[in-house]
């Protein structure tokens, strides 16, 4: 029905892993001379193909090491695929491990500008939304305190508030509801659901099947880097549950 | 190319935020704040002038300026290349999560060092007035070696930033090389002394010395730019920039796997 906003076509990501990690010049030179560097290939993703249409909410399921995070990194543009392509249309707001990009010496207020800049927003835009961000994060006067003195809940609240203040076209949620207290979690779930109405496309990673079912309408299932199921969220969740319980 | 410029425009605000951040944080926890930028070179100049001036019998009244110009330029070169080298790893967490053009980080750390460096030039103005050094028309040419220095640092910084991602011991190695460069740049001794011993080639082939020489010519000696030194430093800087950009561009997609 809708237009395709994420197109992943025969995507493959290969890692080269040397059997011993060589990360300094001294070892590199010695091992090069002795010809001791052997690279092992490892495909984190192999031949993954799927489309996401506008305002679809897609859950990405899979056990640890299935390639979920790698897939999100490729879609977010952080990592380049070894083969195949992943194209996206529109602005992407990644909500990956909230607050990881904060500068600890900086105050909350300064971090709003910094984090906003990292996400590619202009100064005027952030200035306009500044109050809204502070209000949503419920930080109050703590906004002028260096982030190093924040609790982890405060950090993730601030990160969430900055990343969702815009209306992105594609929202990437990677285990974001695992943090914050119950009250804020409810509030953020509500916020994300309100974003659905604006036609945002969502990629959602979670190990909590119930959550996936309430948020998503479609799902894909990854196993060891390959796509083994895609389609309606309930069907895919069933396959996934069968796999776990087996 | 058009794509690159468009992308750069989008992240201009990030670049300025990062530059401001580095300058702000550097001085946030000290009482004298940004004044340290001025005080630090001034104090080092006094120490070096006393040590090399009185012990080695350089009683020439412009000697403090001689030391100060050399030291200011060298300190910028050393600080900026070091921070550019570390920039990719320090911002690794961010690079792993959000797409940002990667060159923004080394560029921002070099720019912020350049800004502090330009501020610290105020000391030079102050000391020159104090020692009654008369500015000449050639002072205007001083901007040329300063621009060449920036290009050189950018090139060297990009090369180091790329290498440091793959080889962690680059930081130590570069520290040693920097020390060598310092002793080969005639910062606190008279170049004549080296030339007399027949090792003048050390200075001649040192691009940083070419820049220091031209800077001294224009700000304290009232001389025009030395064309040989200028061409050599420009050639070296442009070559370093091309190599640096090429290396960085080739390897940037692998950064994320190594940080």
Per the CB < 8 Å rule, is A100 touching B97? yes
A104 close contact with B: CB closer than 8 A: no
With a CB-CB cutoff of 8 Å, which residues 15-34 of chain B face chain A?
17-18, 21, 25, 28
| Maximum Cα interatomic distance, chain A, rounded to a whole number of Å | 61
**Average pLDDT for B209-224:** 93
**pLDDT band, residue B97 (cuts 50/70/90):** confident
The percentage of residues in chain B with a pLDDT greater than 90, rounded to a whole number, is 53
Q: What is the DSSP letter of A224?
A: T
Under a CB-based contact definition with an 8 Å cutoff, are residues B106 and B120 in contact?
no
Element (DSSP H or E) covering residue A108: helix A108-118
List the single residue in B94, B97, B253 with the smallest CB-CB distance to A80: B253
**Average pLDDT for B231-244:** 97
DSSP E strands in chain A: the ranges are 4-18, 39-53, 57-61, 83-88, 92-96, 170-174, 201-205, 218-223, 226-232
A53 close contact with B: CB closer than 8 A: no
Instruction: Give me the pLDDT at residue B10, please.
Output: 83
Among residues B179, B226, B1, B9, the alpha carbon closest in space to that of B77 is found at B179
Q: What is the DSSP letter of B67?
A: H
**pLDDT band, residue B79 (cuts 50/70/90):** very high
With a CB-CB cutoff of 8 Å, which residues 92-111 of chain B face chain A?
93-100
Residue B172 scores a pLDDT above 70: yes
Among residues B253, B208, B57, the alpha carbon closest in space to that of A82 is found at B253
Residue B144 scores a pLDDT above 90: yes
Instruction: Give me the pLDDT at residue B236, please.
Output: 97
The pLDDT tens digits along chain A (246 residues) read 568 888 888 888 888 766 566 777 777 788 777 776 666 778 888 888 888 888 888 988 888 878 888 888 888 888 888 888 888 888 777 665 555 678 888 888 888 888 888 877 888 888 998 998 898 888 888 899 988 888 877 888 888 888 777 777 888 887 666 656 778 778 887 887 888 777 888 888 888 888 888 888 888 988 888 888 888 888 888 888 888 887
**Average pLDDT for B114-130:** 93
Arithmetic mean of pLDDT over chain B: 90
- The pLDDT tens digits of the residues spanning B15-52 come to 999 999 888 888 777 777 778 888 889 999 999 888 88
**Chain A contacts of B256, Cβ < 8 Å?**
73, 78-79
Å between A105 CA and nearest CA of chain B:
7
Per the CB < 8 Å rule, is B94 touching A118? yes
Under a CB-based contact definition with an 8 Å cutoff, are residues B100 and B12 in contact?
no
Residue B211 scores a pLDDT above 90: yes
With a CB-CB cutoff of 8 Å, which residues 109-128 of chain A face chain B?
110, 113-114, 117-123
Under a CB-based contact definition with an 8 Å cutoff, are residues B172 and B93 in contact?
no
For residue B75, report the phi and psi dihedrals to the nearest 5 degrees.
Answer: -60, -40
Please report the sign of the dihedral spanned by the C-alpha atoms of residue B58, residue B62, residue B68, residue B70.
Answer: negative
List the single residue in B13, B97, B99 with the smallest CB-CB distance to A101: B97
DSSP E strands in B50-158: the ranges are none
Say if the ipTM goes beyond 0.85. Answer: no
Please report the sign of the dihedral spanned by the C-alpha atoms of residue A166, residue A167, residue A168, residue A172.
Answer: positive
Nearest-angstrom CA–CA distance, B153 and B227: 21
A39 close contact with B: CB closer than 8 A: no
Per the CB < 8 Å rule, is A105 touching B25? yes
**Burial bucket for residue A16 (CB in 10 Å: 0-12, 13-18, 19+):** exposed
């Amino acid at each position: 029905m809708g237009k395709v906003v994420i197109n992943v076509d025969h995507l493959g990501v290969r890692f080269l892993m040397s059997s011993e990690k060589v990360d300094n010049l001294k070892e590199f030179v010695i091992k090069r001379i002795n010809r001791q560097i052997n690279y092992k290939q490892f495909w984190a993703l192999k031949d993954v193909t799927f489309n996401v249409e506008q305002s679809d909410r897609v859950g990405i399921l899979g056990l640890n090491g299935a390639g979920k995070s790698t897939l999100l990194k490729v879609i977010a543009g952080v990592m380049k695929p070894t083969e195949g392509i992943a194209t996206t249309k529109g602005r992407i707001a990644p909500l990956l491990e909230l607050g990881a990009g904060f500068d600890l010496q900086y105050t909350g207020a300064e971090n709003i500008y910094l984090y906003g800049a990292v996400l590619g927003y202009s100064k005027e835009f952030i200035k306009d939304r500044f109050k809204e961000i502070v209000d949503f994060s419920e930080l109050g006067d703590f906004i002028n305190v260096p982030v190093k003195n924040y609790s982890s809940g405060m950090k993730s609240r601030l990160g969430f508030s900055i990343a969702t203040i815009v209306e992105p076209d594609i929202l990437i949620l990677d285990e974001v509801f695992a943090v914050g207290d119950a009250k804020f979690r409810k509030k953020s779930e509500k916020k994300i659901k309100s974003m659905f109405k604006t036609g945002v496309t969502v990629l959602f990673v979670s190990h909590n099947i119930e959550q996936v079912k309430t948020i998503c309408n479609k799902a894909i299932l990854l196993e060891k880097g390959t796509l083994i199921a895609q389609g309606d969220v309930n069907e895919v969740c069933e396959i996934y549950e069968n796999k776990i319980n087996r | 190319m058009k794509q690159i410029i468009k992308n750069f425009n989008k992240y201009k605000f990030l670049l300025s935020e990062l530059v401001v951040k580095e300058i702000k944080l550097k001085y946030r926890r000290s009482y004298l704040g940004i004044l340290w930028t001025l005080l630090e070179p001034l104090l080092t100049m006094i120490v070096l002038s006393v040590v090399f001036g009185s012990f080695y019998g350089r009683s020439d009244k412009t000697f403090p300026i001689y030391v100060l110009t050399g030291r200011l330029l060298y300190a910028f070169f050393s600080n900026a290349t070091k921070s550019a080298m570390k920039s990719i790893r320090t911002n690794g967490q961010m690079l792993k999560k959000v797409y940002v053009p990667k060159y923004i980080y080394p560029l921002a750390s070099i720019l912020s060092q350049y800004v502090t460096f330009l501020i610290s030039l105020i000391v030079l103005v102050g000391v020159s007035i104090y020692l009654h050094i008369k500015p000449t028309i050639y002072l205007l040419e001083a901007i040329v070696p300063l621009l060449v220095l920036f290009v050189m640092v950018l090139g060297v910084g990009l090369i180091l930033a790329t290498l440091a991602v793959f080889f962690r011991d680059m930081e130590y190695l570069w520290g040693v090389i920097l020390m060598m460069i310092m002793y080969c740049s005639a910062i606190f001794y008279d170049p004549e002394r080296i030339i007399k011993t027949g090792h003048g080639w050390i200075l001649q082939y040192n691009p940083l010395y070419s820049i220091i020489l031209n800077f001294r010519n224009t700000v304290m000696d009232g001389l025009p730019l030395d064309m040989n030194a200028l061409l050599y430093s420009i050639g070296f800087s442009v070559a370093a920039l091309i190599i640096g950009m090429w290396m960085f561009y080739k390897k940037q997609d692998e950064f994320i796997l190594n940080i």
